[in-house]
């Protein structure tokens, strides 16, 4: 049973923007804190943004001011708007619960390169 499906990644030039989407099963999404994570080659997966069911947000220092996380509770979907992208943002991006992650989805590749 597929529970987390990420989309919206791609190749973008430095300074560009992308909007990621994550469709989650209702049993995962409803009432829970959701987060966007990323993993670059050779590194550990890191949490870059989180959002509560009441839309309170927090960001990693590396993306604060450039990324915006949001959620649509009616659609069980969480978004990540990424602006002013940098080459160091290149990674596979995943969404999941924060604190007790479920099985990971396939992720979506974001590549920032000129």
Residue 2 is predicted with a pLDDT of 60
How far is the C-alpha of 28 from the C-alpha of 46, rounded, in Å?
20
Contact between residue 90 and residue 107 where contact means Cβ atoms under 8 Å apart:
no
Strand ordering across the sheet containing 46-51: 10-12, 108-112, 91-97, 34-39, 46-51, 57-59
pLDDT of residue 30: 85
What residues of the chain score a pLDDT lower than 50? none
């Amino acid at each position: 049973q597929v529970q987390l499906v990420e989309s919206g990644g791609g190749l973008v030039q430095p300074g560009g923007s992308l909007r990621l989407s994550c469709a989650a099963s209702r049993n995962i999404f409803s009432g829970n804190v959701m987060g966007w994570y990323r993993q670059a080659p050779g590194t550990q997966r890191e949490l870059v943004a989180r959002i509560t069911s009441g839309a309170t947000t927090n960001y990693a220092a590396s993306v604060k001011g450039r990324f915006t996380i949001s959620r649509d509770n009616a659609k069980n979907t969480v978004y990540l708007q990424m602006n002013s992208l940098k080459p160091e943002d290149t990674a596979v991006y995943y969404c999941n619960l924060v604190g007790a992650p479920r099985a990971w989805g396939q992720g979506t590749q974001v590549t920032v390169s000129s």
